[in-house]
Structure 1
Amino acid sequence: MTTKTTDRSHDLTDDIDVVGQRIRSFREEKGMSLRKLAEQSDLSVGFLSQVERGLSSIALSSLRAVAAALGRPMADFFAQPNSPEKEPEGVVFTLNRAAEHTERVVSGGRHYEMLSARVPGLVLEPMLVYIEPGGVKEEASSHAGEEFAYVIQGELSYEVAGVTHRLGVGDSLHLRSNTPHSLHNDTDELTVVVSVVTPRLF
Protein backbone atom coordinates (compact mmCIF):
# COMPACT_ATOMS: atom_id res chain seq x y z
CA MET A 1 0.00 0.00 0.00
CA THR A 2 1.37 3.44 -0.90
CA THR A 3 1.06 6.63 1.08
CA LYS A 4 0.62 10.15 -0.30
CA THR A 5 3.72 12.28 0.19
CA THR A 6 2.34 15.66 -0.88
CA ASP A 7 3.26 18.73 1.16
CA ARG A 8 0.57 19.27 3.79
CA SER A 9 2.08 22.25 5.59
CA HIS A 10 -0.49 24.75 4.31
CA ASP A 11 -3.37 22.52 5.38
CA LEU A 12 -1.85 21.96 8.82
CA THR A 13 -1.53 25.69 9.52
CA ASP A 14 -5.08 26.34 8.37
CA ASP A 15 -6.51 23.58 10.58
CA ILE A 16 -4.59 24.74 13.67
CA ASP A 17 -5.94 28.25 13.10
CA VAL A 18 -9.53 26.98 12.76
CA VAL A 19 -9.45 25.11 16.09
CA GLY A 20 -7.89 28.06 17.93
CA GLN A 21 -10.30 30.59 16.44
CA ARG A 22 -13.30 28.47 17.38
CA ILE A 23 -12.11 27.96 20.95
CA ARG A 24 -11.82 31.74 21.32
CA SER A 25 -15.18 32.36 19.63
CA PHE A 26 -17.06 29.83 21.79
CA ARG A 27 -15.33 31.07 24.94
CA GLU A 28 -16.28 34.69 24.24
CA GLU A 29 -19.82 33.62 23.31
CA LYS A 30 -20.09 32.04 26.74
CA GLY A 31 -18.61 35.12 28.40
CA MET A 32 -15.80 33.02 29.85
CA SER A 33 -12.33 34.39 30.55
CA LEU A 34 -9.23 32.56 29.40
CA ARG A 35 -8.30 32.02 33.04
CA LYS A 36 -11.69 30.43 33.81
CA LEU A 37 -11.41 28.12 30.80
CA ALA A 38 -7.92 27.14 31.95
CA GLU A 39 -9.23 26.29 35.42
CA GLN A 40 -12.15 24.22 34.12
CA SER A 41 -10.10 22.33 31.53
CA ASP A 42 -7.03 21.86 33.77
CA LEU A 43 -4.79 23.51 31.16
CA SER A 44 -2.51 26.53 31.51
CA VAL A 45 -3.56 30.05 30.50
CA GLY A 46 -0.37 30.44 28.46
CA PHE A 47 -0.97 27.24 26.49
CA LEU A 48 -4.61 28.08 25.73
CA SER A 49 -3.57 31.56 24.63
CA GLN A 50 -1.09 30.05 22.15
CA VAL A 51 -3.75 27.64 20.84
CA GLU A 52 -6.26 30.46 20.34
CA ARG A 53 -3.66 32.46 18.39
CA GLY A 54 -2.74 29.49 16.17
CA LEU A 55 0.77 29.21 17.64
CA SER A 56 0.27 25.74 19.15
CA SER A 57 -1.86 22.73 18.31
CA ILE A 58 -3.92 20.97 20.96
CA ALA A 59 -4.14 17.23 21.57
CA LEU A 60 -7.54 15.56 21.33
CA SER A 61 -7.49 14.61 25.01
CA SER A 62 -6.98 18.28 25.94
CA LEU A 63 -9.56 19.44 23.41
CA ARG A 64 -12.12 17.10 25.00
CA ALA A 65 -11.58 18.94 28.30
CA VAL A 66 -11.97 22.32 26.57
CA ALA A 67 -15.11 21.15 24.75
CA ALA A 68 -16.63 19.93 28.04
CA ALA A 69 -15.83 23.25 29.76
CA LEU A 70 -17.46 25.17 26.91
CA GLY A 71 -20.43 22.79 26.62
CA ARG A 72 -19.71 22.06 22.97
CA PRO A 73 -19.41 18.80 20.98
CA MET A 74 -15.98 18.09 19.51
CA ALA A 75 -17.27 18.48 15.94
CA ASP A 76 -17.92 22.20 16.55
CA PHE A 77 -14.18 22.92 16.72
CA PHE A 78 -13.33 21.66 13.24
CA ALA A 79 -14.14 22.47 9.63
CA GLN A 80 -17.49 21.31 8.34
CA PRO A 81 -17.36 17.80 6.82
CA ASN A 82 -17.97 16.88 3.22
CA SER A 83 -21.60 16.32 2.27
CA PRO A 84 -22.57 12.68 1.61
CA GLU A 85 -23.79 11.59 -1.78
CA LYS A 86 -27.56 11.44 -2.19
CA GLU A 87 -28.89 8.00 -1.39
CA PRO A 88 -32.22 6.22 -1.97
CA GLU A 89 -34.74 6.59 0.84
CA GLY A 90 -34.00 4.20 3.69
CA VAL A 91 -30.40 3.53 2.57
CA VAL A 92 -27.60 5.00 4.68
CA PHE A 93 -24.13 5.13 3.13
CA THR A 94 -21.27 7.42 2.11
CA LEU A 95 -18.92 7.13 -0.84
CA ASN A 96 -15.54 8.86 -0.87
CA ARG A 97 -13.63 8.97 -4.17
CA ALA A 98 -9.82 9.01 -4.05
CA ALA A 99 -9.64 12.13 -6.22
CA GLU A 100 -12.08 14.14 -4.11
CA HIS A 101 -11.12 16.56 -1.34
CA THR A 102 -10.90 14.90 2.06
CA GLU A 103 -11.59 16.69 5.33
CA ARG A 104 -8.40 17.14 7.36
CA VAL A 105 -7.96 17.94 11.02
CA VAL A 106 -4.77 18.68 12.97
CA SER A 107 -4.36 18.12 16.69
CA GLY A 108 -1.24 17.75 18.80
CA GLY A 109 1.21 16.82 16.04
CA ARG A 110 -1.27 14.46 14.39
CA HIS A 111 -2.98 14.90 11.06
CA TYR A 112 -6.40 13.22 10.77
CA GLU A 113 -7.72 12.53 7.27
CA MET A 114 -11.42 11.67 7.37
CA LEU A 115 -12.39 8.67 5.24
CA SER A 116 -16.15 9.10 5.57
CA ALA A 117 -18.62 11.98 5.40
CA ARG A 118 -21.13 12.60 8.17
CA VAL A 119 -24.47 10.79 7.83
CA PRO A 120 -27.08 10.43 10.59
CA GLY A 121 -27.16 6.85 11.84
CA LEU A 122 -23.49 6.03 11.15
CA VAL A 123 -21.31 5.94 14.28
CA LEU A 124 -17.87 4.78 13.08
CA GLU A 125 -15.10 7.36 12.57
CA PRO A 126 -12.71 5.90 9.94
CA MET A 127 -9.52 7.93 9.47
CA LEU A 128 -5.97 7.92 8.21
CA VAL A 129 -3.82 9.31 11.02
CA TYR A 130 -0.38 10.78 10.23
CA ILE A 131 1.65 10.95 13.46
CA GLU A 132 4.69 13.20 13.33
CA PRO A 133 7.93 11.88 14.85
CA GLY A 134 9.13 13.08 18.22
CA GLY A 135 5.76 14.28 19.47
CA VAL A 136 5.02 14.80 23.15
CA LYS A 137 3.62 11.68 24.79
CA GLU A 138 0.13 12.30 26.14
CA GLU A 139 -1.19 11.05 29.45
CA ALA A 140 -3.28 7.88 29.14
CA SER A 141 -7.00 8.66 28.97
CA SER A 142 -10.26 6.75 28.74
CA HIS A 143 -13.66 7.49 27.22
CA ALA A 144 -16.72 5.73 25.84
CA GLY A 145 -16.57 3.62 22.68
CA GLU A 146 -14.00 1.47 20.88
CA GLU A 147 -10.77 2.08 18.94
CA PHE A 148 -9.02 0.14 16.19
CA ALA A 149 -5.58 0.95 14.78
CA TYR A 150 -3.75 -0.70 11.84
CA VAL A 151 -0.22 0.50 11.03
CA ILE A 152 0.55 0.99 7.34
CA GLN A 153 3.79 2.97 7.69
CA GLY A 154 6.40 3.34 10.44
CA GLU A 155 6.02 2.20 14.04
CA LEU A 156 3.63 3.06 16.85
CA SER A 157 3.96 2.80 20.62
CA TYR A 158 0.49 2.03 22.03
CA GLU A 159 0.00 1.96 25.80
CA VAL A 160 -3.01 0.03 27.14
CA ALA A 161 -3.70 -0.20 30.87
CA GLY A 162 -0.11 0.75 31.67
CA VAL A 163 1.49 -1.78 29.29
CA THR A 164 3.25 -0.49 26.16
CA HIS A 165 2.91 -2.45 22.89
CA ARG A 166 5.15 -1.77 19.87
CA LEU A 167 3.23 -1.96 16.58
CA GLY A 168 4.90 -2.21 13.18
CA VAL A 169 3.56 -2.30 9.63
CA GLY A 170 0.72 -4.82 9.40
CA ASP A 171 0.12 -4.90 13.18
CA SER A 172 -3.23 -3.86 14.60
CA LEU A 173 -4.83 -3.20 17.96
CA HIS A 174 -8.50 -3.08 18.96
CA LEU A 175 -9.73 -2.02 22.40
CA ARG A 176 -12.65 -0.73 24.39
CA SER A 177 -11.82 2.90 24.96
CA ASN A 178 -12.86 2.90 28.62
CA THR A 179 -9.45 1.28 29.26
CA PRO A 180 -6.78 3.95 29.90
CA HIS A 181 -4.69 4.22 26.74
CA SER A 182 -2.39 6.48 24.75
CA LEU A 183 -0.37 6.28 21.56
CA HIS A 184 2.95 7.83 20.60
CA ASN A 185 5.43 7.93 17.74
CA ASP A 186 8.84 7.80 19.45
CA THR A 187 10.77 7.17 16.22
CA ASP A 188 12.33 9.70 13.85
CA GLU A 189 10.03 8.77 10.95
CA LEU A 190 6.39 9.55 10.11
CA THR A 191 3.89 6.91 11.25
CA VAL A 192 0.64 6.35 9.32
CA VAL A 193 -2.26 4.46 10.85
CA VAL A 194 -5.69 3.40 9.64
CA SER A 195 -7.86 4.20 12.63
CA VAL A 196 -11.54 3.48 13.32
CA VAL A 197 -13.14 4.81 16.49
CA THR A 198 -16.56 5.13 18.07
CA PRO A 199 -18.23 7.44 18.74
CA ARG A 200 -17.21 9.95 16.11
CA LEU A 201 -14.65 12.48 17.30
CA PHE A 202 -15.23 15.35 14.88
Structure 2
Amino acid sequence: MDDSVTPPIAVPEPGSDPSSDVDAVGPRIRAIRTAERLSLRKLAERSGLSVGFLSQVERGLSSLALSSLRSVAAALERPMTDFFGPTDADAALADDALVFTLTRAADPSRRVVSGGRYYELLSSRSPGLVLEPMLIYVEPGGTKEPGIGHEGEEFVYVLSGELVYEIAGTEYRLWAGDSLHLRSNTPHRVYNDGVEKTVVVSVVTPRHG
Protein backbone atom coordinates (compact mmCIF):
# COMPACT_ATOMS: atom_id res chain seq x y z
CA MET A 1 0.00 0.00 0.00
CA ASP A 2 1.21 3.50 -0.81
CA ASP A 3 1.44 5.30 2.54
CA SER A 4 1.28 8.66 0.75
CA VAL A 5 -2.33 8.08 -0.28
CA THR A 6 -4.84 9.54 2.16
CA PRO A 7 -7.87 7.25 2.66
CA PRO A 8 -11.24 8.83 1.89
CA ILE A 9 -13.29 10.17 4.80
CA ALA A 10 -16.43 8.14 5.43
CA VAL A 11 -19.43 10.44 5.57
CA PRO A 12 -22.73 9.28 7.10
CA GLU A 13 -25.97 10.04 5.29
CA PRO A 14 -29.01 11.42 7.08
CA GLY A 15 -31.71 8.92 8.00
CA SER A 16 -34.32 10.35 5.66
CA ASP A 17 -34.76 12.66 2.70
CA PRO A 18 -34.38 16.21 4.05
CA SER A 19 -36.67 17.64 1.37
CA SER A 20 -39.59 15.63 2.74
CA ASP A 21 -38.83 16.03 6.45
CA VAL A 22 -41.81 17.21 8.49
CA ASP A 23 -39.44 19.31 10.60
CA ALA A 24 -38.65 21.69 7.71
CA VAL A 25 -38.07 25.10 9.24
CA GLY A 26 -39.82 27.20 6.56
CA PRO A 27 -43.33 25.85 7.24
CA ARG A 28 -42.72 26.13 10.98
CA ILE A 29 -41.79 29.80 10.69
CA ARG A 30 -44.85 30.49 8.56
CA ALA A 31 -47.17 28.60 10.93
CA ILE A 32 -45.89 30.45 14.00
CA ARG A 33 -45.93 33.81 12.21
CA THR A 34 -49.49 33.43 10.99
CA ALA A 35 -50.65 32.15 14.39
CA GLU A 36 -49.21 35.32 15.90
CA ARG A 37 -50.93 37.36 13.16
CA LEU A 38 -47.57 38.82 12.24
CA SER A 39 -46.99 40.04 8.69
CA LEU A 40 -43.92 38.98 6.74
CA ARG A 41 -42.85 42.62 6.59
CA LYS A 42 -43.07 42.97 10.39
CA LEU A 43 -41.05 39.78 10.87
CA ALA A 44 -38.44 41.17 8.49
CA GLU A 45 -38.23 44.40 10.50
CA ARG A 46 -37.82 42.53 13.79
CA SER A 47 -35.28 39.99 12.51
CA GLY A 48 -33.21 42.28 10.30
CA LEU A 49 -33.72 40.00 7.27
CA SER A 50 -35.36 41.02 4.01
CA VAL A 51 -39.00 40.31 3.14
CA GLY A 52 -37.98 38.59 -0.08
CA PHE A 53 -35.48 36.32 1.64
CA LEU A 54 -37.92 35.32 4.40
CA SER A 55 -40.58 34.61 1.78
CA GLN A 56 -38.20 32.23 0.00
CA VAL A 57 -37.35 30.52 3.30
CA GLU A 58 -41.02 29.99 4.17
CA ARG A 59 -41.62 28.45 0.74
CA GLY A 60 -38.57 26.19 1.04
CA LEU A 61 -36.74 27.95 -1.79
CA SER A 62 -33.83 29.24 0.29
CA SER A 63 -31.75 28.03 3.22
CA LEU A 64 -31.68 29.74 6.59
CA ALA A 65 -28.44 29.48 8.54
CA LEU A 66 -28.71 28.94 12.27
CA SER A 67 -27.41 32.46 12.95
CA SER A 68 -30.36 33.86 11.00
CA LEU A 69 -32.75 31.33 12.55
CA ARG A 70 -31.69 32.68 15.94
CA SER A 71 -32.75 36.17 14.79
CA VAL A 72 -36.10 34.86 13.52
CA ALA A 73 -36.72 32.93 16.75
CA ALA A 74 -36.02 36.07 18.78
CA ALA A 75 -38.36 38.10 16.55
CA LEU A 76 -41.11 35.51 17.09
CA GLU A 77 -40.27 35.32 20.81
CA ARG A 78 -39.79 31.56 20.57
CA PRO A 79 -36.89 29.37 21.77
CA MET A 80 -34.68 27.86 19.07
CA THR A 81 -35.76 24.39 20.17
CA ASP A 82 -39.25 25.05 18.75
CA PHE A 83 -37.72 24.52 15.30
CA PHE A 84 -36.09 21.16 16.05
CA GLY A 85 -37.64 17.72 16.25
CA PRO A 86 -37.70 15.56 19.40
CA THR A 87 -34.81 13.43 20.56
CA ASP A 88 -34.57 10.33 22.75
CA ALA A 89 -30.84 10.70 23.39
CA ASP A 90 -29.61 9.40 26.72
CA ALA A 91 -28.62 12.15 29.16
CA ALA A 92 -26.78 11.71 32.44
CA LEU A 93 -26.31 14.04 35.40
CA ALA A 94 -24.14 12.63 38.16
CA ASP A 95 -23.45 15.67 40.35
CA ASP A 96 -22.22 19.24 40.08
CA ALA A 97 -18.75 18.03 39.12
CA LEU A 98 -19.87 15.68 36.33
CA VAL A 99 -22.34 16.79 33.67
CA PHE A 100 -22.61 15.00 30.34
CA THR A 101 -24.93 13.73 27.64
CA LEU A 102 -24.70 10.46 25.73
CA THR A 103 -26.23 10.22 22.26
CA ARG A 104 -26.51 6.77 20.68
CA ALA A 105 -26.11 6.21 16.95
CA ALA A 106 -29.51 4.51 16.86
CA ASP A 107 -31.33 7.39 18.59
CA PRO A 108 -33.77 9.44 16.51
CA SER A 109 -32.11 12.55 15.11
CA ARG A 110 -32.96 15.97 16.43
CA ARG A 111 -32.90 18.02 13.28
CA VAL A 112 -34.14 20.94 11.28
CA VAL A 113 -34.32 21.29 7.51
CA SER A 114 -34.11 24.65 5.78
CA GLY A 115 -34.14 24.65 1.99
CA GLY A 116 -30.89 23.01 0.94
CA ARG A 117 -29.50 22.72 4.46
CA TYR A 118 -30.02 19.86 6.89
CA TYR A 119 -28.94 20.39 10.52
CA GLU A 120 -28.63 17.39 12.86
CA LEU A 121 -27.94 18.04 16.55
CA LEU A 122 -25.35 15.67 17.98
CA SER A 123 -26.13 16.06 21.68
CA SER A 124 -29.13 16.61 23.91
CA ARG A 125 -29.56 19.44 26.42
CA SER A 126 -27.98 19.32 29.86
CA PRO A 127 -27.42 22.13 32.39
CA GLY A 128 -23.90 23.56 32.38
CA LEU A 129 -23.00 22.59 28.79
CA VAL A 130 -22.49 25.46 26.34
CA LEU A 131 -21.30 23.86 23.09
CA GLU A 132 -23.76 23.02 20.27
CA PRO A 133 -22.26 20.21 18.11
CA MET A 134 -24.02 19.56 14.81
CA LEU A 135 -23.70 17.65 11.56
CA ILE A 136 -24.69 19.91 8.65
CA TYR A 137 -25.47 18.92 5.06
CA VAL A 138 -25.33 21.80 2.56
CA GLU A 139 -26.69 21.23 -0.94
CA PRO A 140 -25.03 23.14 -3.81
CA GLY A 141 -26.60 26.38 -5.05
CA GLY A 142 -29.33 28.30 -3.30
CA THR A 143 -29.70 31.95 -2.37
CA LYS A 144 -26.87 33.58 -0.45
CA GLU A 145 -28.36 35.12 2.66
CA PRO A 146 -26.99 38.39 4.08
CA GLY A 147 -23.93 38.17 6.32
CA ILE A 148 -24.84 38.39 10.00
CA GLY A 149 -23.01 38.45 13.32
CA HIS A 150 -24.12 37.02 16.68
CA GLU A 151 -22.69 36.29 20.09
CA GLY A 152 -20.38 33.37 20.74
CA GLU A 153 -17.97 31.35 18.62
CA GLU A 154 -18.26 28.77 15.86
CA PHE A 155 -16.02 26.03 14.54
CA VAL A 156 -16.50 24.03 11.34
CA TYR A 157 -14.66 20.98 9.99
CA VAL A 158 -15.38 19.88 6.41
CA LEU A 159 -15.91 16.13 5.97
CA SER A 160 -16.67 16.19 2.24
CA GLY A 161 -17.32 18.65 -0.57
CA GLU A 162 -16.38 22.32 -0.40
CA LEU A 163 -17.71 25.32 1.47
CA VAL A 164 -17.23 29.07 1.26
CA TYR A 165 -17.08 31.18 4.43
CA GLU A 166 -17.42 34.88 3.73
CA ILE A 167 -16.10 36.77 6.77
CA ALA A 168 -16.29 40.59 6.83
CA GLY A 169 -16.53 40.57 3.02
CA THR A 170 -13.57 38.23 2.39
CA GLU A 171 -14.14 34.71 1.03
CA TYR A 172 -12.35 31.65 2.41
CA ARG A 173 -12.83 28.35 0.55
CA LEU A 174 -12.69 25.13 2.59
CA TRP A 175 -12.26 21.59 1.29
CA ALA A 176 -12.41 18.18 3.01
CA GLY A 177 -10.07 18.20 6.00
CA ASP A 178 -10.07 22.01 6.35
CA SER A 179 -11.42 23.74 9.44
CA LEU A 180 -12.26 27.26 10.54
CA HIS A 181 -12.83 28.82 13.96
CA LEU A 182 -14.15 32.37 14.43
CA ARG A 183 -15.74 34.77 16.83
CA SER A 184 -19.31 34.85 15.61
CA ASN A 185 -19.83 38.56 16.23
CA THR A 186 -17.98 39.21 12.95
CA PRO A 187 -20.51 39.42 10.08
CA HIS A 188 -20.29 36.19 8.10
CA ARG A 189 -22.23 33.89 5.81
CA VAL A 190 -21.72 30.36 4.49
CA TYR A 191 -22.62 28.84 1.14
CA ASN A 192 -21.84 25.98 -1.20
CA ASP A 193 -21.14 27.11 -4.76
CA GLY A 194 -19.77 23.72 -5.80
CA VAL A 195 -21.54 20.90 -7.64
CA GLU A 196 -21.94 18.35 -4.85
CA LYS A 197 -23.36 18.19 -1.34
CA THR A 198 -21.05 19.38 1.41
CA VAL A 199 -21.01 17.72 4.84
CA VAL A 200 -19.46 19.43 7.85
CA VAL A 201 -19.16 19.02 11.60
CA SER A 202 -19.97 22.34 13.27
CA VAL A 203 -19.68 23.42 16.89
CA VAL A 204 -21.14 26.75 18.01
CA THR A 205 -21.73 28.67 21.22
CA PRO A 206 -24.03 29.43 22.86
CA ARG A 207 -26.47 26.55 22.58
CA HIS A 208 -29.72 27.30 20.81
CA GLY A 209 -31.93 27.33 23.90
TM range (shorter): 0.7 to 0.9
**Preserved CA contact (<8 Å) 2:89 2:104:** no
Name the % identity: 52
User: Which moves more between the two structures, 66-75 or 36-45?
Assistant: 36-45
TM-score normalised per structure 1: 0.82
User: C-alpha deviations, 1:45-101, integer Å up to 9, x for none?
Assistant: 7954972xx654651344333222222222222223445433323321011122222
Which residues in structure 2 correspond to 1:105-184 (within 5 Å)?
105-184=112-191
SS of corresponding position for 1:32: coil
The verdict on how the C-alpha distance between 1:27 and 1:200 changes in structure 2, with shifts beyond 3 A counting, is: farther
**Preserved CA contact (<8 Å) 1:23 1:77:** no
**Preserved CA contact (<8 Å) 1:35 1:45:** no
**Preserved CA contact (<8 Å) 1:127 1:196:** yes
**Preserved CA contact (<8 Å) 1:96 1:116:** yes
Q: What is the RMSD computed on CA atoms of the aligned residues?
A: 2.7
The verdict on how the C-alpha distance between 1:37 and 1:57 changes in structure 2, with shifts beyond 3 A counting, is: same
TM-score normalised per structure 2: 0.80
The verdict on how the C-alpha distance between 1:105 and 1:164 changes in structure 2, with shifts beyond 3 A counting, is: same
Choose which of 45, 60, 64 in structure 2 pairs with 1:59.
64
Gaps of 5+ in 1: none
The verdict on how the C-alpha distance between 1:160 and 1:38 changes in structure 2, with shifts beyond 3 A counting, is: closer
Amino acid paired to 2:91? E
User: Which moves more between the two structures, 184-193 or 80-89?
Assistant: 80-89
CA distance in 2, matches of 1:94, 1:166: 33
Deviation at 1:104, TM superposition (A): 1.7
CA distance in 1, matches of 2:109, 2:193: 27
Larger strand percent: 2
Gaps of 5+ in 2: 1-8
Tell me how many residue pairs correspond in the alignment.
Answer: 198
Larger helix percent: 1
Deviation at 1:166, TM superposition (A): 1.1
